[in-house]
A and B are shown apart, each in its own frame.
Chain A
Amino acid sequence: MSSPGKEIIHLDNLRKTYVMGSEEVHALDGVDLSILQGEYVAIMGPSGSGKSTLMNLIGCLDTPTSGGYVLNGNQVGDLSEDELAYIRNREIGFVFQTFNLLPRLTALKNVELPLIYSGIGVSEREERARESLDLVELADRVDHRPNELSGGQRQRVAIARALVTRPTILLADEPTGNLDSTTSMDIMKLLNQLNKNGNTIILVTHEKDIARHAKRAVVIRDGKIISDGSTDTLGEETSAIASTESTSYSHSEDPS
């Protein structure tokens, strides 16, 4: 593991603009952000503020309209598609807001998926996938398909899949959005443990209780960072934002 404190993610005036007919939507409107190795960052903000867009860019799934992104010292814009695939496979674990599980595959096979592309053999793959599902306490649901699982269980499968490659950076888009408070706490304990082990974690959440597990909170609104600081200072200004959102608003997830 490289020395803690090294800058691992650097965003420089990052913009993502969607053109809808004559209208331009600035999902990200000039984001500057620097995240150090081993940091634990919560990203907060109202619905539609650009959190998922930011996560997709950091996760090398999407490309910015303009601006720079340096990951581990590499300009992401200069990387080839194969190099990006490699990074998505080995460096980054991504928990999607909408899970993105494959409906035809069992929980176990879904979790194994990234390892197929790491070239890991069948038996080791299965073993690691089981371990990972064990971590999220789904050992008894390995043979269920996503549509045979509850929303929270699907979310945990998605987390297990993100962890199975032992990524250095974990990106989690509302990983506890569908979980009751007890399970949420278990998941947060897991993330805390991962962070203690040196993993960089970025998580999107609406809940201050969840955000408090992180050491740093970045708040965005309308594609701009409006506050960035220690979670201890998560005070009135952010609670105002949070209160405009129902913390239990439901997502219209696809079962996949």
Chain B
Amino acid sequence: MSILEAIRIAIGSILSNKLRSFLTLLGTIISISSIVAVISVINGLNIYVEESISNLGKGVFVISKFGVIHNRDDLFAAIRRNKNLRLQDGLAIKKACDLVDEVGVEIHASAKAKRENLSIEGVDVGGITESILDIEPFEIDAGRNFTRSEIVGRSYAVFLGNDVREALFPDTDPIGKKITVGQRRFLVVGAAKKRGSVFGMSRDNYVKIPITTFQKIYGTWGSVNISCRKAPGVPIDEAMDQARVVLRSRHHLKYKDEDDFGIVTSDGLNDLWKNLTAAIFSIATFVVGISLVVSGIVIMNIMLVAVIERTREIGVRKAVGATNRDITRQFLVESVILSCLGGFLGLLLAAALSVIIQNVSPLPARFPLWAPPMAFFICTTIGIFFGLNPARKASRLDPIEALRAE
């Protein structure tokens, strides 16, 4: 008997008892859909983190006053020890470090932006050097980046994030128009592409202005962040070390002193993040693994019941020439189909769930392409593993005993 024949017979018996088949599937549907939903969320978070939290490009590191703070003690020590970073620190790194290709400096404040009767609150105002737009990077949708002379000349030029542009210029071209940020009037020179939102927070509610203009308005006391991009072909660690040495000497640190600044890399952030998601992932896998075993046991139970119920059928099949292998195959195929069908429905449910999560909750979810083959593999394994015992029971029945069964 061919496997195709076994599949045909198995589908026949699954369909002849639809309700019970569905209840059997439920366990697999729930476990597969929950593991895939968890994977989708983690996958979505990972992609999101890679693209955005550390939206630093590859080979970029950021020197800031605090860096990545791991705990409260860290924070207090850093507050006591660390100095504010200045624009001149960035310029010095640029001048002294040949392993660093490009340096950008940025400092932040928050303000309200207005134009005529339109306004938007809580805008992140970034005072930058022109290279920041390159390093981060911000994609320019209209207009241009700042020119060197605008930066040096403390001009009132502004580059708009997409939210600000949409709020203040709902249906007009912003380039060349004037807006008010805080108390000053700025000339719009460019606008960025939309970056989207994360955890429900928009990443487009910002404006960029020349850092010199920023310091004229807000003063020079605040600490800046220095973004550095390593030269091509240089290990990022060496570029970081070179920048550290420059900063340490500018800060007159002794050999044994700790750094009084922090360095953040996209790799570092990603590692931190990956550790976290790996932990979530392994817990989820463990829980779902248990539920998969439970659904396997459900399938085994149902198959054992099916063997008893269909003893007579097995007797008839054997009487007309089915071999033990034919019978084993029929029942094994049935349990594999049951569990794979459960897995398939589970995948559909998970795909629907991740669309819902994506749209309704602030969590990003991305259905990974390798989920279907993985689910198929897991389900086949479960079907075979838990189907084997009932199938062999069926195949070992004595034909005449089976025919006599009620």
User: 0/1 per residue, A145-161, Cβ < 8 Å to B?
Assistant: 00000000000000001
CB-CB under 8 A from B325, the residues of chain A are 82
State whether the Cβ of B321 lies closer than 8 Å to any Cβ in chain A: yes
Contact B315 A100 (CB under 8 A): yes
How distant is the Cα of A50 from the Cα of B323 in the complex, in angstroms?
27
Given A104-B12, A119-B2, residue A85 in contact with residue B323 (CB < 8 A): yes
Top-6 shortest CB links A-B = A89-B321, A114-B320, A117-B321, A85-B323, A62-B400, A61-B400
Tell me the minimal C-beta distance from B154 to chain A in angstroms.
Answer: 86
- Most B CB atoms within 10 A — which of A81, A85, A101, A117? A85
Tell which of A61, A82, A118 touches B403, judged by Cβ atoms closer than 8 Å. A61
Bound-state Cα–Cα, A88 to B321, Å: 5
Q: What's the Cα separation between A61 and B399 when bound, in Å?
A: 6
Q: Considering the complex, which residues of chain A in the window 103-134 have a beta carbon less than 8 Å from any beta carbon of chain B?
A: 104, 113-114, 116-119
User: Which residues of chain B come closer than 8 Å to A208, judged between CB atoms?
Assistant: none
* Nearest CB on B from A250, distance (A): 19
Chain A, Cβ-Cβ closest to B16? A104
| A113-B316 in contact (CB<8A) | yes
B400 pairs with A88, CB closer than 8 A = no
- B114 contacts the other chain (CB 8 A): no
Chain B: number of interface residues, binned into ranges: 20 to 34
A118-B321 CB under 8 A given contacts A61-B399, A100-B316, A256-B312: yes
Q: Is B290 an interface residue (CB 8 A)?
A: no
* A210, B318: Cα distance in complex, Å: 29
When chains A and B are docked, how far (Å) is the Cα of A226 from the Cα of B398?
31
The CA of A191 and the CA of B13, in the complex, are separated in Å by: 34
Q: Smallest CB–CB gap between B123 and chain A, Å?
A: 71
Query: How long is the Cα–Cα vector from A117 to B316 in the complex, in angstroms?
Result: 12
User: Is B322 engaged at the interface, CB distance under 8 Å to the other chain?
Assistant: yes
Which residues from B are CB-within-8-Å of A88? Answer: 318-321, 399
Choice from B12, B320, B400, B403 contacting A117 with Cβ under 8 Å: B320
Interface residues in A88-107 by Cβ distance below 8 A to B read 88-90, 94, 96, 100-102, 104
Besides A100-B315, A100-B319, A100-B403, 16 other CB < 8 A contacts?
A61-B319, A61-B400, A62-B399, A62-B400, A85-B318, A85-B321, A86-B323, A89-B321, A94-B319, A104-B12, A104-B13, A113-B320, A116-B1, A117-B321, A117-B323, A117-B326
List residues of chain A with CB within 8 A of the CB of B12. Answer: 104
B73-118 interface (Cβ within 8 A of A):
none
In the complex, A184 has a CB within 8 A of chain B: no
Q: Which residue of B lies closest to A89 (CB)?
A: B321
A114 cross-chain contacts in B, Cβ below 8 A: 320-321
Determine the residue in chain A with the shortest Cβ distance to B399.
Answer: A61
Instruction: Please list 16 pairs of residues, one from A and one from B, whose beta carbons are closer than 8 Å in the complex, sorted by A's number.
Output: A56-B400, A61-B400, A82-B325, A88-B320, A88-B321, A88-B399, A89-B321, A94-B320, A100-B315, A100-B403, A101-B316, A104-B12, A114-B320, A114-B321, A116-B1, A117-B322
Chain B residue numbers with a CB within 8 Å of A101 are 316
Min CB–CB distance A75 → chain B (angstroms): 19
| Among candidates B13, B315, B324, B399, residue contacting A82 with C-beta atoms closer than 8 Å | B324
> Which residue on chain B has the smallest CB distance to residue A86?
B321
Residues of B contacting A86 with CB < 8 Å?
A: 321, 323
Chain A residues positioned under 8 Å from B317 (CB to CB): 113, 117
**Complex contact B322–A85 (CB within 8 A):** yes
List B289-330 residues whose CB lies under 8 Å from chain A: 312-313, 315-326
Does B173 sit at the interface, judged by CB under 8 A?
no
Query: Which chain A residues lie closer than 8 Å to B318 at the CB level?
Result: 85, 88
B5 proximal to A (CB < 8 A): yes
A116 adjacent to B5 (CB under 8 Å): yes
| Chain B contacts for A94, CB-based, 8 A | 319-320
